[in-house]
Structure 1
């Protein structure tokens, strides 16, 4: 079976693909340009690359890409420049999640065995209200301003909300996890980290650190390790470096 990764040319997506390939997994990726990929990835025989823009694909094309995949991982995010923050598509992540999930349902409609895993890279600034998470009034006000002024934050909230509202814990075709790292940093190797069901510190006033390579490692474990998946499915774990 195969894993589909979208957003694979991003800083975290590349690391995830590298780790999955190192585990001997077969991986498909959809990227706008292969130029951003390191040669060690592009030359791997276990990797299938499609150079395209996901939101421009037809439904039939997306269905072809998810067909036979046991997991789909979205590492998509907005570029940190003016066009990426305020240009179109403003709902890049949400649109991709919705279309990918519909493609999974279309191709798995006659399958009643193991649901497809859907893993979404999200943010600790997204409060999991369905799990009863509470934040201070001050943080709520700041996040409200961010939601109003910065479209990518609202996009991340809507993407996770779509998974929560549409796919319950016992859905036959799709199970999901939304991974919430805190402030992202770069490190050269996997280090000790911890996953929590909810934030243990304020994402606004006392943010922690999470290395991208640790996020990639956690997502790879969700893909390949059934115990990790069963612990976190239908949840929004928060990651911190130790």
Structure 2
């Protein structure tokens, strides 16, 4: 399978690419700096590294990279610095999703391309009646106004929901919503739900980046998993140990 990953230099993107390469898939990554990638990837013949700014790529070049890809993943996010949060591009994720989907449509593939977006459990799926307390709605409303990355995440998912929708000729999609991200050295048990089972603001759970990478890889490579979640915004949590056990 040929898969394009953007945001591959991030902590979660690296986990995804690692797992795809371990499964023997052909992976293309678009990164600003190849130096940010693990040295162990340099000699992997299944990896193609494109060093470029995604948002500044000429359309024809992007269409070339997207061509013949059966899957595309965006693990893009804003750096947690003042410049990353408040500087340009404020709509990094939304703009990336938009131009990637446009490139897919320009290529008019014979088979629908799987598009996976890494999102956040703080973003509600507006296709469902997901409950939220008044306190949570107030906090999220403030985040939407004060922190551009939160609004960017919302708009990126909304683009897939409303502009691509459920019956696009060329694209199928899943927006994966992890809760508070943590680092772990291996894949552990995790659970996936259609909607949050706890408040992301007042009772957040945890999700390891390794588990997010594993779930996204499973979406791309396992048809049963894809058919279950396509057109949805699944929420992923680390599985909590049973009470009385460590």
Q: TM-score, with normalisation over the residues of structure 2?
A: 0.96
- Aligned equivalent of 1:142, options 139, 143, 150: 139
**In the alignment, structure 1 residue 227 sits paired with structure 2 residue 200:** no
Alignment: residue pair count: 239
Alpha-carbon displacement from aligned partner over 1:205-240 (angstroms, at most 9, x marks no partner): 000000000000000000100000000000000000
In 2: Cα distance, 1:43 partner to 1:10 partner:
20
In 1: Cα distance, 2:140 partner to 2:68 partner:
39
How far 1:132 moved relative to its partner? 1.4
Residue in 1 that maps onto 2:122: 125
Matches within 5 A, 1:18-37: 18-37=18-37
**In the alignment, structure 1 residue 163 sits paired with structure 2 residue 127:** no
Residue in 2 that maps onto 1:114: 111
In 2: Cα distance, 1:145 partner to 1:43 partner:
46
In 2: Cα distance, 1:240 partner to 1:77 partner:
19
5+ long unaligned stretches in structure 1: none
CA RMSD of aligned residues (A): 0.8
Residue in 2 that maps onto 1:192: 189
In 1: Cα distance, 2:227 partner to 2:215 partner:
13
SS at match of 1:94: helix
Q: TM-score, with normalisation over the residues of structure 1?
A: 0.97
How far 1:166 moved relative to its partner? 1.4
Moved more, 45-54 or 32-41: 32-41
In 2: Cα distance, 1:57 partner to 1:23 partner:
29
How far 1:172 moved relative to its partner? 1.7
**In the alignment, structure 1 residue 60 sits paired with structure 2 residue 57:** no
How far 1:168 moved relative to its partner? 2.4
In 2: Cα distance, 1:161 partner to 1:211 partner:
25
Moved over 2 A (4+): none
Residue in 2 that maps onto 1:212: 209
